[in-house]
Amino acid sequence: EVQLVESGGGLVQPGGSLRLSCTVSGFNLRSHWMNWVRQAPGKGLEWVGNIEHDTNEKQYADSVRGRFTISRDNAKNSVFLQMDSLRAEDTAVYYCATVVPGAVDSWGQGTLVTVSS
């Protein structure tokens, strides 16, 4: 069974940093692109970025480029989202999800990040 479990969310002050982790099981992480999607309270879905499986090339949304960094450690079955210079508008539930050609197919339960003083 495919499982993705996000962790690392919490309350952080504006300008602060947080590192989210996504630990996966039930599939070979080495074979998958992985991405992060967020959802502000009561709002829709926003793609944050992804990381390719072979080249480790990354793409980011304009709203987070330069502040957020995605990385992966296949040996630890984990994907990470380093978030720096956090702003109030980054408050959201952050989901990690697997990517197959043409689809974001498996999602974690999400972890809540609250940016507030």
User: What residues line the site for another protein (CB under 8 A)?
Assistant: 35, 37, 44-47, 50, 59-62, 95, 101-110
- With H, G, I as helix, E, B as strand and everything else as coil, classify residue 76: helix
CB of 20 to another protein, least distance (A): 15
CB of 46 to another protein, least distance (A): 7
CB of 107 to another protein, least distance (A): 4
Nearer residue to another protein within complex by CB, 15 or 91: 91
Nearer residue to another protein within complex by CB, 60 or 80: 60
Give the residue among 71, 95, 78, 98 at the shortest CA–CA distance from 23: 78
Tokens of 29: 């992480």
* Strand ranges inside the chain, DSSP E: 3-7, 10-12, 18-25, 33-39, 45-51, 58-60, 68-73, 78-83, 92-100, 103-107, 111-115
Nearer residue to another protein within complex by CB, 14 or 43: 43
According to DSSP, the residues that pair with 48 across neighbouring strands are none
CB of 13 to another protein, least distance (A): 27
